[in-house]
Every structure is written in structure tokens, then in C-alpha cells.
Amino acid sequence: MTRREMLTLCRNGFGGVALMGLMGSVPFGQALSQERPKADPNPLAPRSSHRVPKARSVIFLYMDGGVSQVDSFDPKPRLTREHGQNPYDKFAVDATQFDNIGTILKSPWEFKRYGQSGLEVSDLFPHIGSCADDLAVIRSMVADFPEHTNANYFLHTGIGIQGRPSMGAWVTYGLGSENQNLPGYVVLDGGLIPPGGLDNFNSGFLPASYQGSIFRAGDLPLANIEPLEATSEIQRQKIALMNRTDERLLGRIGHADQVESAISNYELAFRMQASVPELTDLSGETEATKKLYGMDSDDPHTRGYAAQCLLARRLVERGVRFIELTCPRVEADRWDQHSNLIDGHTRNAHAVDQPIAGLLKDLKARGLFEETLVIWAGEFGRTPFAQGTNGRDHNPSAFSIWLAGAGIKGGTVYGATDEYGYRVVENITTIHDLHATMLHLLGMEHERLTYRFSGRDIRLTDVGGTVIDAILS
């Protein structure tokens, strides 16, 4: 027995007496229970929400690298009038990521009004534009970080440093999942893991059962998804042996999240070997459905992202709580066009436009739209002036996102930027506000969804966040 194990076993003996002397009148057991909440024997069991929810599931369409707001959902005619002029003569220019500031750059794309709402969308996204009356576009988003890794952590976890639970982990921690044969939080890897790596999908200090499960594109989305054992009985015996070994360890060291999560994950992995192949087999989908998503496209990137969007719908049908889609590997720089803006944004938009619109329309046709929240967002926006001659640098001071589906008032625009799309001038909206609104639609009060860690109750929205009531139906 190691010294650490001995002290752990004796924590309610002489070790507990010593600690109580240091802590004054606080009983040791009480302090321990506050610091380390007891693990749930079934961590993904469905749980009641704080109020009646509008949304049952979330699909997060993550646009890696930062889509240009003035080229997508925030038209700025003044950029056209002042194209090629010196931005320093027009407004205060902040230092940029690469400090390579060119002239004012108009959008290469035209904007059109779509639907009864007349929502303006650029020619980059004609298919998404056809769904305009379902979208609530927020033009007043701001980010706290101008660099990809920290901005990604902030978008995904609510804080700009590594190690915190992602929003998908918080959602499954709060609500569990409606399908016990699949993970509650699935990341569909389209080919690009964002800067910051897998910590964008991690469970942080929450039990490991709530971390995102990464599904690769293709017929075998997970390693070892096909059993190696000759029969399921042999496999079951192996799992039983591992469980007995882990339970003996628990008997020696007491409560341990890592061990209890491992036991739960062994069981889930066993069930997934039967459920995942059926999930990812798209042969039963009609040709009309596949065409709707763009799986007949000449562009392999469009076909790949279409399959991921179709898979997201199938996950929602099966009760998975949170699904994130990463971008296809169209460009090495993702949406991050510091040069070749026209080519880069055009190719990326072509890959995702039809599949996303197909997803929205398919959800509506199947009666899933009113219970699924769809979020489209990147980590920040881009400048209204050129980086050099033909790119745009990072801009955390203003960018656009949109939401659709459960509880969202479609055909609406919230917030505004200045005439250059450079800074927010109306209804500043933060990532904490986005997270608070998402949790609200799932029936959770963001200030009550907490986990005791490191001496305090921590939540996804940290010490901020306000529900964006204006975009709710």
C-alpha cells in the first residue's frame, strides 16, 4: 500500500482529526462532500430541468477560424463607397493580430433580402438565405480574445484558458441524455480539430462521462467499434472482470470520479458497439433526403459535410443531447483568410451552405425543428479593412452568429455594428449571454447549474450572462 492510499483510507481517522484541527469547526466529511460531489451511478440518466424546456437537443455548427461578418450576415454599403481608402482617416484602428493593415475593403459579395422577413444574407450563403425566416441573427457578438486558441476556449467553455468543461459537457451534466446506448455529447469531426485541441470538448473538472466523444467521418467513426471477441459473452466477461478490478480499487481508496467514470464508460462502450454502426449506416435514407443535404454534390467537401449534417439529425432523433460539427478540411486556414479572402471564403461556404440548409429543412419536415436548438458561430469576426491587399485580420470587437429552432424567433436581427461593421454600437452580446440563452432554452437556469470545485460553485457562465429575450419566441 502506498502512503497516499494509506492516508486516503485513514481520512476519517487520524488524518481527519488533523484536518479538522486545521479547518476549525467545519466537519471534515461536510467539507469533502462540498468539494467532491458524489458521482451519479448513472451519469447520463435523463434529469429534470429547472423549468419546462423549449429545446431537447442542441446542434452546434462551429465555423472554425472566424467568418467575416461584413461578408456574410452584416451588410455595410459604406465599405463599398469608401473601398480602397485609408481606414486611419475614418476611425480609430485597433492593433490587429498581425499588424498588417491595408485599405478599407468592400465585400466581394452582394447581399440579398430573403423570405418574408427580408433578412439580408450575402451570396456566400444562398441556401441558408432560403431559411432566413427561421434564423435569429445576432450582429453584436463580441469576444474577449483576438487569438484562436483562447477565443476557442472562451466560446466552448466560457473561459479563455485550458481545462474548463465545455458547454456540451455542462449540458449533459445538467440534463443527462435520452439515449443510454450513445454518448450524451458527440463531436462530429469534419476534418479540422480547432486550435486548442480536444480541450475544447473536454469535461474539465466534471466527471469524465460528460466529455465529448469524437466521431470521425467514414464508416468506422470510432476505434474498436467492431468487437474483436468471437462472442458477446466473452466480451461481457472481460467487462465484468474490469469492473470487479475497479470496484476493488474503489474499496481501497474510496470515492474516485475517474474510476467510477471508467466503469460507466466501459458499459457505454459495450452498448455503442451495437448502436453506432446502425447510427452511421445512411443506406436507409432516401435519395431525396441525401440530395437535400447535398450528398450528390460534385464537391467532396460538400458531400462530407452533408453526411455529417445528416448524421446530426439522426443523433437528434435518437435523443443525443449535444452535437457539435467541426468544419471540413477545405482550407488549411479554415475560415481564417488572412489572404485570398475570395477563394477561401467561397470554398468554405460552398462546403457548408447546402448541408446546413438541408439540415434545417429536414428537421422541420420531421417535426424536430421545434425541439432542436441550432447554433451557427465562430470564435470571432474579421476586420472591415484588408490585411495587406486581399485578406482580413481577426476582429473580436464585432461578429455575427445565428440561432434557429426551439424557442427562437425566426426572421429577426438583434444588435448592430457601426457603419463599417467594426465595433458593436447596439446591444453588445457576449459568449456568456449565448451560453445563458442556450441553457434557458434547455430549461436550465444558468446561475443554478453549478459544480463545486476548488472552493467555489463554478458555472458555465462564470459570473456573467444574460438571457437574450429579444430573440426568443
**Residues of the chain above pLDDT 70, percent:** 83
Cβ neighbours of residue 315 closer than 8 Å, sequence gap 6 or more? 57, 182, 186, 279, 323
Does residue 136 share a domain with residue 17?
no
Which of the given ranges, 122-131, 251-260, 448-457, has the highest pLDDT on average? 122-131
Does residue 1 share a domain with residue 90?
no
Could you tell me if residue 395 is inside a domain? yes
Does residue 92 share a domain with residue 5?
no
Q: Which three cell numbers stand for residue 222?
A: 470510432
Could you tell me if residue 237 is inside a domain? no
Q: Which three cell numbers stand for residue 16?
A: 481527519
The type of residue at 68 is S
Q: What is the mean pLDDT of the chain?
A: 88
Q: What's the longest Cα–Cα distance across the chain?
A: 78
Of the candidates 308, 227, 314, the one whose C-alpha atom is nearest the C-alpha of residue 271 is 227
* Of 22-36, 127-141, 156-170, 392-406, minimum mean pLDDT range: 22-36
CA distances from 12 to 20, 38, 100, 107, 172 (A): 10, 17, 62, 67, 33
Does residue 461 share a domain with residue 363?
yes
* Strand 412-414 versus strand 135-141 pairing type: parallel
Could you tell me if residue 97 is inside a domain? yes
Q: Which three cell numbers stand for residue 330?
A: 477545405
Mean pLDDT in residue range 237-242: 75
Mean pLDDT in residue range 170-196: 93
pLDDT band at 262 (very low <50, low <70, confident <90, very high): low
Other CB atoms within 10 A of residue 253 CB: 13
Question: For residue 292, is pLDDT > 80?
Answer: yes
Other CB atoms within 10 A of residue 473 CB: 11
Does residue 152 share a domain with residue 285?
yes
Our count of domains for the chain comes to 2
What is the C-alpha separation between 273 and 204, in angstroms, rounded?
Answer: 26
Question: For residue 30, is pLDDT > 60?
Answer: no
* Residue 269 confidence (pLDDT): 65
With H, G, I as helix, E, B as strand and everything else as coil, classify residue 4.
helix
Mean pLDDT in residue range 332-351: 92
Does residue 93 share a domain with residue 9?
no
Does residue 10 share a domain with residue 126?
no
With H, G, I as helix, E, B as strand and everything else as coil, classify residue 404.
strand
What is the C-alpha separation between 194 and 326, in angstroms, rounded?
Answer: 8
Could you tell me if residue 295 is inside a domain? yes
Mean pLDDT in residue range 68-80: 98
Question: For residue 1, is pLDDT > 70?
Answer: no
Q: CATH number of the domain that 288 lies in?
A: 3.40.720.10
* Residue 122 confidence (pLDDT): 98
What is the C-alpha separation between 144 and 432, in angstroms, rounded?
Answer: 11
Question: For residue 208, is pLDDT > 50?
Answer: yes
Question: For residue 190, is pLDDT > 80?
Answer: yes
Other CB atoms within 10 A of residue 208 CB: 17
Q: Which three cell numbers stand for residue 149?
A: 486558441
Could you tell me if residue 186 is inside a domain? yes
Which residues form the domain of 1? Answer: 1-35
Mean pLDDT in residue range 168-192: 93
* Residue 191 confidence (pLDDT): 86
Could you tell me if residue 260 is inside a domain? no
Q: Which three cell numbers stand for residue 78?
A: 459604406
Does residue 58 share a domain with residue 182?
yes
b/e 178-197 (16+ beta carbons within 10 angstroms → b): bbbbbbbbbbbbbbbbbbbe
pLDDT band at 248 (very low <50, low <70, confident <90, very high): confident
Does residue 174 share a domain with residue 116?
yes
Cβ neighbours of residue 38 closer than 8 Å, sequence gap 6 or more? 255
Other CB atoms within 10 A of residue 25 CB: 5
| Helix or strand run (H / E) with residue 280 | helix 257-280
Does residue 27 share a domain with residue 171?
no
What is the C-alpha separation between 420 and 168, in angstroms, rounded?
Answer: 34
Could you tell me if residue 122 is inside a domain? yes
Does residue 438 share a domain with residue 341?
yes
Taken as a whole, the chain contains a residue count of: 473
Could you tell me if residue 328 is inside a domain? yes
C-beta of residue 461 within 8 angstroms of C-beta of residue 164: no
Does residue 46 share a domain with residue 22?
no
